[in-house]
């Protein structure tokens, strides 16, 4: 039973990769009931993202390689849903071009800085990033269903800016690449050579 459970995190991660391909194909073909299917896949993807980490930590198989793969696939997953949503609701993206560009540039900057400094992709899995992920999902659901989002998207935008700036600060603060750094405070503690406490359910 345990051997089967140990395979679940990697299955969940690659399932999001499969959903990333599927959602773009479905959107490009403008299939019937697309909105329902898209929200369903997005919800399933969110649940797999939550539980792959929880299961891995519970079974003590949360390796650096697994966390790096998880981060990379998460980026692909959300990028795919953004592209698919753009196909369905281009007017929303035209209206919010500046804000979206700012978020994309900052997100790209976090990866660039991390690669230049550590030669590895980012995998901090910070608390702020987890909150932003939930807001992205909520915003995407509203856009998928209504092709618009004002209050929720604007809240998501500002939280995105703040969390991306925190990630940049974490990267600059760390002396060596480290995965699962909850906040900038924890990064500063690591910089001083101190041990940090990670929540068993969410980090570590």
Q: What is the pLDDT of residues 3-16, one digit of tens each?
A: 677 889 999 999 99
Q: Where are the domains of the chain?
A: 1-88, 90-204
What dihedral do alpha carbons 125, 131, 134, 140 form, nearest 10°?
Answer: -100
Residue 38 is inside which H or E element, if any? helix 34-58
Locate tokens 């980012």: which residue? 122
Structure tokens at 166: 């925190």
* pLDDT at position 149 over 90: yes
* pLDDT at position 172 over 60: yes
How much is the pLDDT for 3? 66
Q: Please give the average per-residue pLDDT across 53-75, as a whole number.
A: 88
Structure tokens at 156: 């998501």
Q: Cβ atoms within 10 A of the Cβ of 92, count?
A: 19
The per-residue pLDDT for range 119-147, each reduced to its tens digit, is 998 888 899 999 999 999 999 999 999 99
Q: Give residue 197's pLDDT band: very low, low, confident or very high (50, 70, 90).
A: confident
Q: Give residue 169's pLDDT band: very low, low, confident or very high (50, 70, 90).
A: very high
* pLDDT at position 148 over 60: yes
How much is the pLDDT for 64? 84
- Among 173, 171, 174, 143, CA closest to 157: 143
* pLDDT at position 20 over 60: yes
* pLDDT at position 186 over 70: yes
Q: Please give the average per-residue pLDDT across 28-38, as a whole number.
A: 97
Task: Compute the residue count for the chain.
Answer: 204
How much is the pLDDT for 65? 87
How much is the pLDDT for 195? 87
Assess contact for 103 and 162: CB atoms under 8 A: no
How much is the pLDDT for 102? 98
């Amino acid at each position: 039973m345990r051997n089967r459970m140990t395979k679940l995190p990697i299955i969940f991660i690659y399932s999001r990769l499969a959903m990333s391909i599927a959602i773009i194909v479905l959107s490009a073909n403008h299939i019937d009931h697309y909105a329902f299917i898209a929200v369903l896949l997005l919800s399933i993807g969110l649940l797999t993202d939550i539980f792959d980490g929880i299961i891995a930590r519970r079974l003590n198989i949360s390796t650096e390689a697994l966390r790096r793969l998880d981060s990379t696939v998460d980026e692909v997953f959300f990028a795919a849903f953004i592209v698919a949503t753009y196909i369905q609701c281009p007017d929303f993206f035209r209206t919010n071009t500046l804000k979206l560009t700012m978020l994309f540039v900052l997100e790209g900057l976090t990866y660039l800085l991390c690669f230049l400094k550590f030669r590895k992709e980012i995998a901090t899995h910070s608390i702020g990033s987890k909150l932003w992920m939930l807001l992205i999902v909520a915003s995407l659901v509203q856009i998928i269903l209504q092709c618009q989002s004002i209050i929720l998207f604007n809240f998501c935008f500002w939280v995105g800016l703040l969390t991306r700036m925190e990630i940049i600060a974490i990267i600059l603060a760390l002396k060596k690449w480290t995965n699962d750094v909850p906040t900038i405070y924890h990064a500063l503690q690591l910089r001083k050579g101190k041990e940090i406490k990670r929540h068993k359910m969410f980090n570590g």
